[in-house]
Amino acid sequence: MYIIEKETINQIPMLHIHKQSLAGRPAPVVIFWHGFSSAKEHNLPIAYQLAEKNIRVLLPEAVLHGERSENVSEKEQMSKFWKIVVQSVKDTETIYEEIKNRNWILDNRLFVGGTSMGAILTFGALKVYPWIKGGISLMGDPAWGNLAQAQLDGLKRNNLWEESEEKTQEILRGLHPFDLSTMPEAVADRPLFFWHGQEDEVVPYQSAYSLYKTLEQQSGGPMEYHLDPKAGHKVPRLGMLQMTSWVAEHI
């Protein structure tokens, strides 16, 4: 039997999915973040596949999404994309500290992952938190600076960005500490799984692939990269199953 529980940690709502047999016992943990304009429950199929492999799964809600939406417009949500991402990285640490105190993690075996925005923030978390033992990127981008600049340029072209140039540069500087592409050696020997669609126009695959090739030369950790030649910005069932099997083997 599987259990889905609603949890709140320091005002961060989340879903907690695990086998009933793991109730009250430490287990390997995956903290898995949803994508932009999505919500935590949209990743329940992934959580089920991981839980089936005796993994405890936490699906947190990002700020300004789902239960934390505050009824903001899509325009406002988009303009605050990087605030959401950075806050979610910080929320990851908050969640980790609490579940560590609750003795939910078996032998420090904790991976962080996500889809799209969730994968982008995963790369940032890997850069700053050495206690993360592995990462899962489904359609992510580790080069925060380049991605942010491209996004802001697009917002400006569509008159959706109202900040001054000074404020814009301040935002970009604030992302630098989380930009894994500037220091790929921060991954060290931690396992990483990548999945991307070659036809993805929302988060192009090239940046994550470049990181993978760099790490292939210098990292001692196990890695796997899947590039689906026909897929766009959506993970098919095969990609999900490839990921969950890999995580079960390496967590």
Residues in the chain, pLDDT under 70: 219
CATH architecture entry for 2-250: 3-Layer(aba) Sandwich (3.40)
Q: What is the pTM of this model?
A: 0.96
pLDDT in tens, 217-233: 886 789 999 999 999 99
Find out whether 53 and 81 touch, Cβ atoms under 8 Å.
no
Q: Which residues contact 216 (CB under 8 A, 6 or more apart)?
A: 223
pLDDT recorded at residue 250: 98
Give domain limits for the chain: 2-250
Q: What are the Cα distances from residue 78, in Å, to 157, 162, 234, 243?
A: 14, 12, 19, 28
- Amino acid in the structure at residue 181: S
